[in-house]
Amino acid sequence: MAAVQVAGSLLCRPTREAPREPPPEPGNGFRRLSARLRALRPDDSSFARTEIHLLFDQLISENYSESDGVAPEDVNDLLVQACRLVPLSQNHLVSKVSQLIHHLLNRLQVIVDEQNLDFLLAYTISAIQQCSSWTHMAILQALAALVYCNGSKCQKYLPDLVGKTGLLMKLSDPAQSDPEVRRAAVHCMANLCLSVPGQPYLDEPYQSICFQTFLTTLQSPKLSDMDDITFCMLLQNALKGIQSLLNSGKMKLTLTEELGALLAVLKNKKKKAKVKPKKVHQGEEEEEESSGEIEAAPATGRVHLRKGNTQCPSSPGVKSLPLDGSGAAGKDRVSLPFGSASWKRVSSSESDYSDAEGGMQSKMRSYQAKVRQGALACFLSTIKSIEKKILYGYWSAFVPDTPELGSPQSVSLMTLTLKDPSPKTRACALQVLSAILEGSKQFLSVAEDTSDHRRAFTPFSVMIASSVRELHRSLLLALVAESSSQTLTQIIKCLANLVSNAPYNRLKLSLLTKVWNQIKPYIRHKDVNVRVSSLTLLGAIVSTHAPFPEVQLLLQQPCSSGLSNSSSATPHLSLPDWWKKAPSGSSLEETTINSPRSSSEPCWLVRLCISLVVLPKEDSCSGSEAGSATGSTYEPSPMRLEALQVLAHLARGYFSMAQVYLMELGEVICKCMGEADPSIQLHGAKLLEELGTGLIQQYKPDSTIAPDQRVPVLLVVTFWTMMLNGPLPRALQNSEHPTLQASACDALSSILPEAFSVLPNDRQILCITLLLGLNDNKNRLVKAATSRALGVYVLFPCLRQDVIFVADTANAILMSLQDKSLNVRAKAAWSLGNLTDTLIINMETPDPSFQEEFSGLLLLEMLRSAIEASKDKDKVKSNAVRALGNLLHFLQPSHIENPRFTAIIEEAIQALISTILVEAAMKVRWNACYALGNVFKNPALPLGTASWTSQAYNALTSVVTSCKNFKVRITSATALSIPGKRGQYGSTEQYTRIWNALVTAFQKSEDTTDFLEFKYCASLRTQICQALIHLLSLARASDLPCIKEALEQDGNMVRSYILQFLKSGAEGDDIGTPHSSQERDQMVKAALEHIGSVQALAGDTAKRAIMGYLEDILTVHLDSAGSQVALLGLTQR
C-alpha cells in the first residue's frame, strides 16, 4: 500500500509542475523516462522495486504515436534494460515488464532486431518456466509481440517454443486449464508463423507441428469453462496461423487427409451465423440502428424494402447485424423454405432482453462474424496454395447444385452470401467463390444439360450443369437482396467470373438472358464501383463464346428492354434515358432510347459505352466518385476505361454490330487518344486495334461475310485517314509513355492492306517513316511492337515489290534480331519469316526485276542472322528456320555460284538438319521440316550431288518414323515427296533408305501413347502414300529390285493403305495432296506408266512384279468402283 501511495504522490508532482514547463516535444516523455530507466542498476531493495514499478507505469501510460520520432533501436535498448532490472523471482515486476514489452512494440509498431530479440526471447521463455502461472498471460502477450514477423530469427528457440515438449505446445493444448492462456499461446504461435517476404520461413517440421496444433484447436469443441468471446478469439488466432502458413508459399497441403480435414473444419466454422427470421405481414418495414439500412433476412436472402426512393442506399464498410436476439448463442438458426418474401427484423425496443444483454449479444455476433471472416480468409489462402484440379474434387462441398432448403447438410458458400447478417462476411464468401470460379473453364466444360436426362443415375456432366444453374439463381437472388455497395460489387464480380468460365454452349438457353436483364439497372447505381463491375459483367457476357446467338439477340434488343421494369427490390434506375443526352450539335444526339430498333442502330450497348466515354456525367451520379479527378466533367476514369474495354470486346466478338458505328467509334478513339490520361489513351489505342483486326477479318479470302455486308474499302480509308490525321501519330511519338507507343504500333499494324494502298501517298509515307524510326527505340516494348508491325507491312501487296522498302525493313529487322530482349528477338524473327515469304511471292511473279535488284550482300547478311537466330530460344528458333527455308529457296543461280555463298549455304542447311534432329518444341521441328521442303524446291541447289544431301534425307526419314508428334511426321513425309527429279534423291542406296523409311512409317502410323495424336493417323498415311507413289513415278531401273524386295515383305500392308488412299482421299488440310478421286487415280496410273517405260536390265523380273502389283491395286480399286474400262488400255501389250 505504501508503494502505491509513493507511486501516486510521485505521479502527481509532474502534473503540478507541468504548467511551468514548455510544451513537451514529441518523444520527449519517452526519452526522459528511458534515461531514468537506463540510469538504474539491478537492486533487490523495496525502494528500487517501487521506482521500477513507477517508471514502468509511466512508460505504459505515456501517450505514444508512430510520429513521435522514437527510434526503434531506443525501444529495443529500453526493453533490454528493463528486463535486466527485473529478476525472475519478482512475479509482479515480470508481469509489468511483459505489459511494457507488449504495449511499446504494438503501439510504436516496432519489430525487434535480431541481437536484442535473442536476449528478450531467452528472458520471456525463462519467465514462463519460472514464474507463477498467473503471470503467463502477460508474458505470452509480450512473447507474441516479440516474435511478430520475426519467426525466421527465432530458429534457436524453436525447440523450446514449438518442439514436441515446447512451452507453446503445452500451453495451447486443449487440456490447458486456463482458456485465456491457451488463447494467448495459440496467438504466439500464429505470430511465429507470420512470414515476411524476402526472409527465410519456419523449417518444414515446425510448420507441420504448428499446422497440426491450429487444426486441432479448430476441431476441438468449446469447453464448459470457456466463455464464448474467448472461444471466438481462440478460433480467430488458429485461423490466422493457418493463413500465415499458407500465405508463405512454403506450406504445401500434400496429404489428402490434411486438406480434407482443413476444408471440413473451415466449412464448419463458416456456418456459425445465428439468425432467426420472424414472419410479419408483407410490406412492413424495420430499421437497423447500426447502419441505417432497411434490410430483411429471410431464408432466401435479405430483401430490402424501400419506399419512395429510386436509388438504393449504400453504406460501404458498415457491418449490418441483425437486431433480433431471440435465437440463443449456441443454437442453429431455423431456416424456412425459399420463396417467402415477407420478413422483418424486430427493433431493439421490441426485443426480449435488456440493453446490457443486447450489447453483449451484439458483441457476440460481431466476434462470430470475425470467426467466419477468418475461416473464409483462410479458405481463400487454401485455394491459392493448392492446384485447381485438387480443389475441384471438393466442389460439391462448397458449391450447391440444388436450391438450399436451410438444412445444415446443404450449407455452402451461397448460404453465407444469401443469409449472413454481416456485409463483410458476405463479401468474403463471394471472394472465395470468385477464387474457386477463376480458371474453372476446363472443369466446368464437362457440364451439359441441353437434353433431358432420364436415367437411373445422375451423370457428372448433369450434376455440374445443375451446379452452374444454381450458382446463377443464387447470385441473382443475392444481387436483388443486397444493399451494401461493397458486397454488391463482389456479387457482380463473382457473376463476371462465373460468366467467363461457364460453358453456355452446352447449357440450356436463358441463363445469360437472366443475368443480362438483372444487371442492366445497376449500370446507373450511385456507387461507382458497382457501376464499373456491372460493365465488367456485361463485358464478360459479350466475350463468352463470342459470337453467341443468345447474346446476339440480347444486343439487338431495344435499348429500354429490361431497364424500365425495375421492381421494388431493385429501384436502382428509373428510366434509362440518361445516356441519350448529348450536347447540341453532337453526332450522338440523334439517339432516342425508346425509339424502335432500326437497321441503323442495332446495338444499344455500343451507344451506352460511347456515351459513358464521351458525354459529361450527370449530377445524379456525381456523388463521391472514386477515381474521378476533381472538377472532371466526365464519368470517373475506371468507368470510362471499362466502357472502352466493353467496346473492344464487342469489336472482337460482334464486329457486325460494331461496324455500324465505325466512324462514330473513330471519333471516340480520336477523343480518347487526345486526352492527357495515358490510361484512356491506351484503351483508345486497344479499341482501334480491335476495329482494325475486325476489318481485316472481313476481307480475308476465307471470310464468310458476304461482300455487300462488309465495310466498304473507301469507308475504311476514310476511317484510317481520320486516325492518321488525328492524335495517333502523336501517340506513336510519345516517348514518355512507351506502353502507349507500343499499343499505337499494334493499332497501326491492324490497317487493312486494301485500304492502305488507297491511302494518300503522304499518309502511307507517314506510317512507314514512323515505324522505321521507332525501330531504333530503346524501350523493348516499343521495339518489339515496331518489329511486328514491319513484319505485317512487308506483306502488303502495294509494298512487297518495293525493293527499297523491303531492304529498309530487312535492315531494321536484322538490327532487332541482335537485341538483348527475347521478346524483341522473337517478334523480329517472326517478321523475318514474313519478309522471306515476301521474297518467295515476288519470285513467283513474272517480272524478274525484284530478284535482280535485291542486294546479294543483304541476302548474305539475312542468311547469317537467321543461322544465328536458329541457335536461340525456341520462340526465336521456330521463325528463324522458316526464314532459312525461304532464303535458300529464293537463292538465284548467280548467288549459288558465288564463292561467298558456298559456305553459308552449307551452314544454313546444317542448321536446319540439326534443328530437325534436336529435341526442341514440336513447332520448331515442324517449321524446320517445312523449311527443308522449301529448300528442295530450289532447282539451282545441288540436291542429290552435294555432301549434305544424305544428311538432309536421313534427318527427314528419322523424323517420319520416330517423332512423337504426328504433325511433324506429316510435314517430313511431305518434304520427302517434293524433289521433282530422280537425280535429286541421290544414289540407289539413298533412294532405298527413303523408301524403306516410308514403309516403316506406315507400320508405326498408329504407335503413339498420346490419344490426341490418333486423329492425325489417317493424314499421315495419306501423305506417306503420296510420297511412295511419287518415288515410284521417278524410279530408275536400278531402284526396282529394292522396291520389289520391300513389296515382297510388306506388300499387303502397303496395298491396303494405298487402296484406302484411293478410296477415301486426303484430309482437307493436307498441303499439296490431291483431293478428287480422278487425281488420286491418275497418280497411281502415272506411276504405273513410268514403271512400264523404264528400260529394265536383262533378266530383271522386278519391273514386271511391280507393274503387276500396281495393276492389281488399280483392278481392286476400280472393281470396287464398278468399272474396269480405264484399265483396258494399260494392260494391252
Cβ neighbours for 410, distance < 8 A, ≥ 6 positions apart? 400, 402, 404
Average pLDDT of span 907-933: 92
Give yes or no for a contact between 523 and 573, defined as CB atoms under 8 angstroms apart: yes
**Set of cell numbers at residue 1125:** 474400262
Is pLDDT of 16 > 70? no
The percent of residues above 90 in pLDDT, for the chain, comes to 47
Report residue 344: phi and psi, to 5°.
-150, 165
Average pLDDT of span 90-113: 90
At 761 the pLDDT is: 94
Alpha helices in 108-135 (DSSP H): 114-130
**Set of cell numbers at residue 766:** 507517314
Average pLDDT of span 578-589: 36
Question: Residues 404-425: pLDDT tens digits?
Answer: 655 555 678 888 899 889 999 9
At 66 the pLDDT is: 60
Query: Directed axis angle between helix 1040-1064 and helix 988-1003, to 10°?
Result: 40
At 1003 the pLDDT is: 86
Question: Residues 619-643: pLDDT tens digits?
Answer: 545 444 444 444 468 889 999 999 9
How does residue 919 score in pLDDT terms, banded at 50, 70 and 90? confident
Q: Of 311-320, 374-383, 475-484, 490-499, which gets the smallest average pLDDT?
A: 311-320
At 602 the pLDDT is: 66
The CB-side HSE value for 953 (13 A sphere, CA atoms) comes to 25
At 1018 the pLDDT is: 83
Cβ atoms within 10 A of the Cβ of 20, count? 6
User: Measuring CA to CA, how many Å separate 633 from each of 406, 607, 621?
Assistant: 49, 19, 11
Is pLDDT of 1043 > 80? yes
Average pLDDT of span 613-617: 87
The 3 state secondary structure assigned to 485-537 is HHHHHHHHHHHHHHHHHCCHHHCCCCHHHHHHHHHHHHHHCCCHHHHHHHHHH
Exposure string over 542-579, b if 16+ CB within 10 A, otherwise e: bbbeeebebbbebbebebbbbbbebeebbbbbeebebb
At 981 the pLDDT is: 92
Q: Of 317-331, 755-769, 888-902, 950-964, which gets the smallest average pLDDT?
A: 317-331
Give CA–CA dist 62/56, Å, rounded.
10
| CA nearest to 1020, candidates 1067, 1077, 1078, 1074 | 1067
Residues in a beta bridge with 344:
278
| CA nearest to 909, candidates 940, 877, 948 | 948
Exposure string over 208-221, b if 16+ CB within 10 A, otherwise e: ebbbebbbebbebe
Is pLDDT of 924 > 60? yes
At 18 the pLDDT is: 39
DSSP 8-class letter at 271: T
Q: Chain-centre distance of CA 64, in angstroms? A: 45
Is pLDDT of 564 > 60? no
At 586 the pLDDT is: 36
At 6 the pLDDT is: 32
If you search the block for the grid coordinates 432482453, which residue do you land on? 353
Give CA–CA dist 494/488, Å, rounded.
10
Is pLDDT of 1002 > 90? no
The percent of residues above 70 in pLDDT, for the chain, comes to 79
Question: Residues 676-703: pLDDT tens digits?
Answer: 999 999 999 999 999 999 999 999 998 8
Average pLDDT of span 833-843: 95
Of residues 198 and 875, which shows the higher confidence score? 875
Is pLDDT of 979 > 70? yes
DSSP 8-class letter at 707: G
Of residues 496 and 1125, which shows the higher confidence score? 496
Is pLDDT of 344 > 60? no
At 267 the pLDDT is: 78
Question: Residues 24-35: pLDDT tens digits?
Answer: 454 577 888 888
How does residue 1114 score in pLDDT terms, banded at 50, 70 and 90? confident
Is pLDDT of 351 > 50? no
Of residues 827 and 621, which shows the higher confidence score? 827
**Set of cell numbers at residue 289:** 440502428
Q: Say whether the peptide bond before residue 753 is cis (omega within 30 degrees of 0).
A: no
Question: Residues 298-343: pLDDT tens digits?
Answer: 333 343 433 333 343 333 333 333 333 333 333 333 332 323 332 2
Average pLDDT of span 737-751: 96
Cβ neighbours for 131, distance < 8 A, ≥ 6 positions apart? 88, 91, 94, 95, 139
- Tell me which amino acid residue 683 is: H
**Set of cell numbers at residue 464:** 455440374
No. of H helices and E strands in the chain? 52, 2
How does residue 874 score in pLDDT terms, banded at 50, 70 and 90? very high
Give CA–CA dist 779/824, Å, rounded.
10
At 478 the pLDDT is: 94
At 1030 the pLDDT is: 93
How does residue 403 score in pLDDT terms, banded at 50, 70 and 90? confident
951: left (phi over 0), alpha (psi -120 to 50) or beta: alpha
At 1028 the pLDDT is: 93
Is pLDDT of 540 > 80? yes
At 303 the pLDDT is: 38
Is pLDDT of 7 > 90? no
At 68 the pLDDT is: 63
Give CA–CA dist 514/375, Å, rounded.
32
Question: Residues 420-456: pLDDT tens digits?
Answer: 899 999 999 999 999 999 999 999 999 888 776 666 6
- Tell me which amino acid residue 23 is: P
At 108 the pLDDT is: 87
> Average pLDDT of the chain?
81
